[in-house]
Amino acid sequence: MTSPLTQTDSPALRLHVRGVVQGVGFRPFVHRLASRHALAGWVRNRENGVEIVVAGAPESLDAFVRDLRAEAPPLADIAEIEAAPGDVYGATSFTIVSSAESTHDRQAVAPDVTTCDACVRELNDPADRRYRYPFITCTDCGPRYTVIERMPYDRERTSMRAFTQCDACGREYATPGDRRHHSETNSCSVCGPTLSLRDATGGTTLGNACLEDAARLLRQGAIIALRGLGGFHLAVDATNDGAVRRLRRAKHRDAKPFALMVRTLADARAVADMSDAEMRLLASRERPIVVVSRRAESAVAASVAPGMATVGLMLPYTPLHHLLLETVGVPLVMTSGNLSDEPICASIDEAVDRLRGIADAFLVHDREIVSRVDDSVMRMAGDTPIFLRRARGFAPLPVPLPIAVPPHQAILAVGAHLKNTVTLATDRSAYVSPHVGDLDSLETLVHFRATVARLADLFHIEPTTVARDLHPGYLSTAEAERRRASKRVVVQHHHAHIAAVCAEHGVTQPVVGVACDGTGFGDDGTVWGAEVLVADLTRYERVAHLRPVPLPGSELAIRNPWRSALGYLALEPMLGPVFARAFDGVEARELEVARRQVERRVNTPVASSMGRLFDAAAAILGVRREARFEGQAAMELEALAGSRAGELLPFPIIPGPEKRLVLDPMPLLGALGERRAAGVPLEALAAAFHDSVVAATVAVVRRVCEDRGIGVVAVGGGTFQNARLVATFAREAAAAGLRVLVPRALPPNDGAISYGQAAVAAARVAREIS
């Protein structure tokens, strides 16, 4: 396909296209389009987008520009097309020329893309030359962020550089109109990465025979470390209870649910009850793990998600997954290849070193992973998909900022302590990293630093401002302090939650923000976690909160919901008999020590945490007194509540210090305990607790909105990972005539804190300058 001769004196245009336009088949698309409109010229990747020069009839040029937007490839996202007169210097056809690299500008890096339907068809077609090739890709799919070392996106700047295309692949790459025209990850079994399986005895199999061997081991109950797209997974047969339990013991993860990979939507339906929206999310291009309602009767072992009514499912997203799932024939547990709370392993050496005591065999490939990235996790909250973790398939696409970072400045926001992410921001773009993890191990700290360096390098950002949490003890705070910066911005945790939600919705005016989570450092030195703020991007005022309660044992309370109940009991000791169930089975001596801690206020901070209120309720109801991971009690209450409507129990608003409103949960907790003693079913009480929390929160928000003349409410914080809570709050607040902003682009939890810090820092820096 070549374009007809074009006169050099034809009108010509130079177009600069910005947005997600590299690694998405954009240049081949431009080539087809130019050929169709009989235009001469060229296209090339530039560091900051794609540059096109076209010459031909004026009406063809107009049609070309129109179609450029209208027919862009599905993965492309054009932010802007800048047009200027150009010149083609005697070109007679249209060509794709090699990239120009400059260090001044930046451009969106495409996230990794799930294997496309066309590639899956070829993978399963015995007549195709890539039949059962585990690394099949095309311009529409395959690894991107995880293999890109630098921009612009060309093979020589990716880890595919190690594999030189064979003649057959080279021909596809060079042929306009081919689905692999200029596909930078193009390869086949002759020239591409290879698979190998190393078992415990040191034996190694190469090539596709590994798949049969790995499947056999899995069916025998083995734990396989699988090198995938963004790192290692640990896989076991999800129908084998013994294997799942062995994995739990080896990973030191005794209760937290494992995610499953199933081969098809039909297989997913055998495990879970799903709405159409959930199935669409599961099969969406990004292929996140989707948390859905688990079927009571299924082949999946109970130990996959003990005590949970939900299960996290995902579909295969690489050709290797497709082949493995098909060969093994059962759903697989696919959990991050790490010890609990450490970052996911990426290199083979690292995995062998760290996972040796866990995995029975390693199924690996030799394509290096440049950036590690975990699976994204989502769930539906009413009609709205929300993130629990934003990583593969989404990162590192920028999230827009409503107030731009001023020219020649850039922001590094270091995030929170748990579920950490970092954000680098410049102009109106915030590059939010994939999930980094909990910053309490050396490995995670190393990963944190590497992530900052990686994003800075990829997007050529040198931070001038560093934003951090108010908490003096966070590791991220220490990291922020040790960095050179001309300016430092400190952002209160819950302000960051609300700012994140406002910023992603482009809202800069004051809102009423409801931030509910476990713990965050308050500006009065106490622990906050159920806060109503009047806030914009630059500042906040705390106008209402939950009644503060002593938390005996501080951090120990997170794992021991009964401690939260004990804290509440200290506020009104005569409720002792009603709270009694909370302490059943708690060791007498431990209880006595905790009592004394409360009395003497030793290691007993005062907290207004919504997470701890959920814990106290769960303990008083006898649902859970000891938690094996943070949030377990809240998840169980949500599961018990289901979708039934609950009785509204008393949860009054009382006057607090400095004209603040205080939500007093004592009557609510008392009523729960009394009804439980009277034999009211747990399900009804869990529903009543949820609906009472929503009703009280909406009542406070309405009062504040009326007082201040504000019509917008934003919600954020880890408590809003509770789908029932966020959906009913949004419905009730909307029914009260308020505009409700719910986290969509980022998780409600602390994964959004770095973006919120960046939004606040940008707004403060911009205000100082203007």
Cβ-Cβ contacts under 8 Å for 381 (sequence gap 6 or more): 723, 724, 726, 727, 730, 742
- Which CB atom, from 30 or from 138, has the smaller least distance to Zn ion? 138
- Closer CB to Zn ion, 267 or 517, in the complex: 517
| Chosen residue from 24, 33, 116, 598 binding Zn ion by CB under 5 A | 116
CB of 351 within 8 A of CB of 358? no
Please report, as residue ranges, which positions from 676 to 695 form the binding site for Zn ion (by CB under 5 A).
none
Of 519 and 728, nearer to Zn ion (C-beta) is 519
Q: How far apart are CA 251 and CA 626, in angstroms?
A: 20
- How many residues line the site for Zn ion (CB under 5 A)? 12
Least Å distance, CB 593 to Zn ion, is 29
Choose one: 4-12, 167-175, 317-325, 560-568; the region binding Zn ion (CB under 5 A). Answer: 167-175
Distances (CA, A) of 647 to 69, 168, 675, 702, 733: 53, 68, 11, 21, 18
Q: Which of 333, 279, 283, 329 is nearest to 305 (CA)?
A: 333
Residue 94 CB, nearest distance to Zn ion (Å)? 24
Q: Give, in degrees to the nearest 5, the angle at Cα 557 between 554 and 559.
A: 130
CA-nearest of 496, 542, 535, 495 to 512 is 535
CB-CB contact of 113 with 70 (8 Å): no
Contacting residue, 39, 108, 169, 377, with Zn ion by CB under 5 A? 169
Among 7-15, 109-117, 553-561, 654-662, the segment contacting Zn ion (CB under 5 A)? 109-117
Closer Cβ to Zn ion, 288 or 747, answer by number: 747
Half-sphere exposure of 141 (CA within 13 A, CB side): 17
- x/- letters, 170..189, toward Zn ion (CB under 5 A): ------------------x-
Nearer to Zn ion, 702 or 744 (CB): 744
Dihedral pair phi/psi, residue 198, rounded to 5°: -110, 120
Q: State the binding string over 189-228 for Zn ion (x if CB under 5 A, else -).
A: -xx-------------------------------------
Helix (H) or strand (E) holding 312: strand 310-314
User: How far apart (Å, rounded) are the C-alpha atoms in residues 482 and 480?
Assistant: 6
Nearer to Zn ion, 76 or 328 (CB): 76
Query: Per-residue x/- marks for Zn ion, 484-523, CB under 5 A?
Result: ---------------------------------x------
**16, 82 Cβ separation under 8 angstroms:** yes
Is 736 an interacting residue with respect to Zn ion (CB under 5 A)?
no
What is the closest distance, in whole angstroms, from the C-beta atom of residue 524 to Zn ion in the complex?
Answer: 17
Name the segment binding Zn ion (CB under 5 A); options: 159-167, 309-317, 447-455, 537-545. Answer: 159-167
Q: Is 140 in the site for Zn ion (CB under 5 A)?
A: yes
C-alpha span between 283 and 671 (Å, rounded): 44
The correct pick among 57, 63, 78, 166 for binding Zn ion (CB under 5 A) is 166
Least Å distance, CB 549 to Zn ion, is: 18
Contact region with Zn ion (CB under 5 A), list: 12-20, 119-127, 419-427, 705-713:
119-127
Read off φ and ψ for residue 347, nearest 5 degrees: -90, 160
Distance between CA atoms of residues 606 and 525, nearest Å: 9
Contact 513, 498 (CB under 8 A): yes
Residue 119 within binding range of Zn ion, rule CB under 5 A: yes
Residue among 141, 225, 290, 535 that touches Zn ion (CB under 5 A): 141
How does DSSP classify residue 659?
A: G
Q: How far is the CB of 26 from Zn ion (least distance, A)?
A: 15
Q: How far is the CB of 299 from Zn ion (least distance, A)?
A: 31
Phi and psi at residue 51, to the nearest 5°: -110, 130
Question: Which tokens go with 454?
Answer: 């990686």
- Which residues would be at the binding site for Zn ion (CB under 5 A)? 116, 119, 138, 140-141, 166, 169, 188, 190-191, 517, 750
